[in-house]
A and B are shown apart, each in its own frame.
Chain A
Amino acid sequence: MSGFEPVIGVEIHVQLSTRTKMFCGCELSFGDPPNVHTCPVCLAHPGVLPVVNEEAVRRALMIGLALGCEIAPRSIFHRKNYFYPDLPKAYQVSQFDIPICGRGEFVAIREDGSELRVGITRAHLEEDAAKLTHLGGRRAGAEESVVDFNRGGTPLVEIVTEPDLRSASDAVTFLRQLRQTLLFLGVSDCSMEEGSMRADANVSIRPVGSHEFGTKTELKNMNSFRFLERGMDAEIARQEGILRDGGRVSQETVHYEPETGHITSLRSKEESHDYRYFPEPDLVPVAPDPAWVDELRANLPELPLSLRRRMVDDMGLSAEDALVLTESPELVAYFMEAAALADPKACANWIRGELRAQLRDAGTEPWESKVTPAHVAALVDLLAAGTVSVPAAKEVLAGMIETGDQPAAVVEAKGLAQMDESDLAAVIAAIVESNPDQAQQLRDGKDKVMGFFVGQAMKQTGGRADPQAVQKLVRELVLGS
């Protein structure tokens, strides 16, 4: 039986972290008591007029520029009409046929270093709906829901991709790196848990080799990339099952239940997609001054893709190192500062490896710790100069985390400087002499026993021996080579 190929496109809603809402001066908030950030505009009282938040336009343009989108010389707002209690005007102000950002492309890098190119269809500005919570029958007989308008009117950018993705794993790779890019731009908090970044996936499958698209379903709003990936895989499997049984996939909105792994169909209301878009008469067009757009383009921060390429091509890092180190703007800045002072590859290893591992227990990040990038670089230099062994350096790092001291000071205080070779040779000779059985095993070709000698040497020197040197000395002494 021939295989199927998934075809996936995603839609991402990003809440912009402006100070005020899209069309009124109410402050944005998260976690405040309900309905304390409202006004006649965002409550849709009669006769009010919306006014566009300039900062939201600026951020939408930055997103468009970062995604290589064509910037519309003149874009307009539309009304998207539907009735729902979280939408007080009975329409959402959005953009339709002339979005502020048109076609673009995003390049993500897979873990194996290969490029994943994803076409961007558009990125447009709109306003968020309010928060609707179902209460259940808490009051006698009353089944009702309640609306909190604090969130209503928050600026959103909706990014829509082409159906260019061919697996759930690629889709999540793209989403994670898009999120990183948005974080580097500083336009949004991009928190999946708090809902400031939400992703929907359009999923269909087709026989491998086919160029037609199958019927797609829309997988709604998962609050983590992990669940989204599982959800897409579950939906792909469900569609394959239907097609293999000779059935047909119906176009619908589906939901993935992380607890059970099941896909359920959301009752989609009849006519729900008849939004009757028409131009918003209350808002005039946005025509960004080309000089403004040029200025924004020139001032974009260096983005993860460029940073990753530079790390791999110029600094000798692996694709995976580069992925990990571009996780956040803070981590990049931290690494770059260290890498400017010492061997970049060694700095990368220590920062992403031991430093983060040791800090994880304390629940802090490198840039929040007492260890400065310069201190990491100094530690890397001490290792390169052979002043400390790798196990000792880990201990030095623990001391640095605790005290914030220079590594050299920690080495001194803890007596962790590496032994010189003649002192070490004496220690090794004693170990070999008192463990003849193990020495014989080594002669018999049981290389595993080398671990025993290294362990003994570390124990007896308090970690001040270089494991490489220990192995070399043991080999010379026992095998004569």
Chain B
Amino acid sequence: MIDENTVRHVARLARLRLEPEEEKVMQEELSGILEHIDAIRSMDLDGVPPTTHVLALENVLRADVPRPSLPREEALREADDVVDESFGVPRMD
């Protein structure tokens, strides 16, 4: 069982605000997932390469050829705030 502080830490990293009762639920659900990982860990996995991708594909590459970009108005259409032809965001410095 992971502790409440770990749940809060993970929530903060994901920018999630959890109510106390939600923290309890997440604590149980996350612990369940980790127990499943422990079950996998208990098996003898020597010589089994880690799965990094579910598709048996490699080298999906693209030639270095430009394609048209979006018109700026369209790129900025979904922006919360537009300042100087740019995406306005809260103060960062």
Interface locus among B28-36, B40-48, B62-70: B62-70
Q: Say which residue of A18, A54, A74, A145 sits within 8 Å of B93 (CB atoms).
A: A145
B1 interface residue, CB < 8 Å from A? no
A207 interface residue, CB < 8 Å from B? no
B85 interface residue, CB < 8 Å from A? yes
Contact A76 B13, beta carbon cutoff 8 Å: no
Contact B83 A285, beta carbon cutoff 8 Å: no
Interface locus among A34-42, A438-446, A467-475: A34-42
0 or 1 for each of B46-84: is its CB under 8 Å from A? (1 = yes): 000000111101111111111111101001101001011
0 or 1 for each of A35-69: is its CB under 8 Å from B? (1 = yes): 11111100101000001111111000000000000
**Using Cβ atoms and an 8 Å threshold, which residues of chain B touch A139?**
83
Contact A54:B91 (CB < 8 A) given known A39-B69, A271-B12, A284-B53: no
Residue of chain A at shortest CB distance from B64: A55
A286 interface residue, CB < 8 Å from B? yes
Interface SS of B by simple majority: loop
Contact A34 B86, beta carbon cutoff 8 Å: yes
Q: Say which residue of A19, A53, A146, A279 sits within 8 Å of B52 (CB atoms).
A: A279
**Using Cβ atoms and an 8 Å threshold, which residues of chain A touch B57?**
284
Assembly CA distance A54 to B59 (angstroms) = 9
Assembly CA distance A132 to B57 (angstroms) = 36
**Using Cβ atoms and an 8 Å threshold, which residues of chain B touch A39?**
67, 69-70
B17 interface residue, CB < 8 Å from A? no
Q: Report the minimal beta-carbon distance from A83 to chain B, rounded to whole angstroms.
A: 6
Q: Report the minimal beta-carbon distance from A21 to chain B, rounded to whole angstroms.
A: 9
Interface centre among B59, B85, B93 (most CB of A within 10 A): B59
**Using Cβ atoms and an 8 Å threshold, which residues of chain B touch A145?**
88-93
**Using Cβ atoms and an 8 Å threshold, which residues of chain A touch B13?**
81, 271, 274, 276
Residue of chain A at shortest CB distance from B56: A284
Contact B64 A146, beta carbon cutoff 8 Å: no
Contact B58 A19, beta carbon cutoff 8 Å: no
Assembly CA distance A445 to B14 (angstroms) = 86
**Using Cβ atoms and an 8 Å threshold, which residues of chain B touch A288?**
59
Contact B61 A51, beta carbon cutoff 8 Å: yes
**Using Cβ atoms and an 8 Å threshold, which residues of chain B touch A281?**
53-54
Contact A146:B88 (CB < 8 A) given known A81-B13, A271-B13: yes
Q: Report the minimal beta-carbon distance from B14 to chain A, rounded to whole angstroms.
A: 9
Interface locus among A25-33, A170-178, A385-393: A25-33
Contact B75 A144, beta carbon cutoff 8 Å: no
Residue of chain A at shortest CB distance from B50: A279
Assembly CA distance A40 to B62 (angstroms) = 17
**Using Cβ atoms and an 8 Å threshold, which residues of chain B touch A285?**
52-53, 58-59
Q: Report the minimal beta-carbon distance from B91 to chain A, rounded to whole angstroms.
A: 4
Contact A54 B61, beta carbon cutoff 8 Å: yes
A368 interface residue, CB < 8 Å from B? no
For the complex of A and B, the 10 pairs showing the least CB-CB separation, nearest first, are: A25-B67, A55-B64, A146-B86, A54-B61, A85-B89, A143-B91, A147-B87, A51-B62, A284-B57, A27-B66
- Residues on A facing B (Cβ under 8 Å): 18-20, 24-27, 33-40, 43, 45, 51-57, 74, 76, 81, 83-85, 98, 132-135, 139, 143-149, 271, 274, 276, 279, 281, 283-288
11 contacts between A and B (CB under 8 A): A35-B87, A37-B69, A43-B70, A51-B61, A54-B63, A56-B64, A144-B91, A281-B53, A283-B60, A286-B58, A288-B59
